Structure 1
Amino acid sequence: MQTTFPFTIFALPPEMRVDDAQFGIMADVEADPALEGYFYLFEKYGFGGGGPSWEEHILTILEEEAPELLEHIEGYSTDARLLLYADSEQTVRAFMRVIQPIFVDLGSLNKYFSQTDSSDFFA
């Protein structure tokens, strides 16, 4: 797989698996210094910047761009961390094709946020 920034992809150990989940998609939004600018960009547009906010935006994008993926991804985010479980490597690859170009850098994410209505989001 090519670069996955800002996400870390990992195989779920058996004790972390829920249902059919095989892979985790994570962004350590609170502790990773490389993601500090993301937090401030989320705040600039009135969003929380924690894991639930990332998750809400990602699921909204998937709902619009690739709704079939929603059946294959489950969210377990906390304030400190985005954490999504995916049921297959194919799901992870499809997720990355849709989401990673938007989150790959602050400029791309800023462009996405500039087209959103903050009142449509809760986190």
Structure 2
Amino acid sequence: MLSTFPFQIAHLPPPTPPERQLAIFADVGGLEEYYALFLHHGFGGTAESWVEHIETIIEEHQPELLDEIEFEEGGHTFVAYAPSQAVADQFLACVLPFFGTLPQLQKYLSQTDPDDFFA
């Protein structure tokens, strides 16, 4: 299986609503190098910042996916919910080219204007 880093996927136990069958999450608080990279480029590096950037990436590359994914904000963990494994796989295919490694994130953040983001 291919790496999903920095994300993990977990099936949620019943009863769960149909749109929240899987959780896609990343321990933003524990990814210090990611956090430092966000800060270096003028972004917050918090879970809210991750949501904002990931929503932007999806909107630019696969906007229909935004109708399938539900984001949760707050805390030290990025969390998105998906209704199926297929949607979770689409999420990863869209986002990992930008978040999968520090060099990929570095390239993405270096091309992004902090003034276009709130977090």
Query: TM-score scaled to structure 1, two decimals?
Result: 0.91
- Report the residue type matching 1:93 in the other structure: D
Q: Distance in 2 between matches of 1:85 and 1:107?
A: 26
Compared with structure 1, are the counterparts of its residues 90 and 59 closer, same or farther at alpha carbon in structure 2 (3 Å cutoff)? Answer: same
Deviation per residue, 1:42-82 (Å, 9 max, x gap): 11111111111001100100000000100000111323110
Q: Distance in 2 between matches of 1:9 and 1:75?
A: 14
SS of the aligned residue for 2:42 comes to coil
Q: CA deviation at 1:109?
A: 0.3
Provide the secondary structure at the position in 2 that maps to 1:79.
coil
Q: How many residues align?
A: 119
Counterpart in 1 of 2:42? 46
Deviation at 1:14, TM superposition (A): 2.2
Structure 2: stretches of 5+ with no match in the other structure:
none
Cα RMSD, aligned residues only: 1.2
- Once residues 100 and 116 of structure 1 are traced to their aligned partners in structure 2, the CA distance between those partners, rounded to angstroms, is 17
What's 2:7 paired with? 7
Structure 1 vs Structure 2: percent identity of aligned residues? Answer: 47
Structure 2 counterparts to residues 28-107 of structure 1, below 5 A? 28-30=27-29, 32=30, 35-107=31-103
Quote the Cα distance in structure 1 between the aligned partners of 2:98 and 2:21: 24
SS at 1:84's partner residue? strand
Question: Aligned partners of 1:28 and 1:71: how far apart in 2?
Answer: 24
Instruction: Give the letter aligned to residue 14 of structure 2.
Output: P
2:22 aligned partner: 23
Which ranges of structure 1 fall in alignment gaps of 5 or more residues? none
Query: Which of 113, 117, 120 is the matching residue for 2:113?
Result: 117
Q: Which amino acid aligns with 2:22?
A: F
| Structure 1 Cα separation of the partners of residues 73 and 21 of structure 2 | 17
Offset from partner CA, 1:55-112 (integer Å, 9 cap, x none): 1100100000000100000111323110110111111111111101211111100100
TM-score, normalised relative to structure 2: 0.94
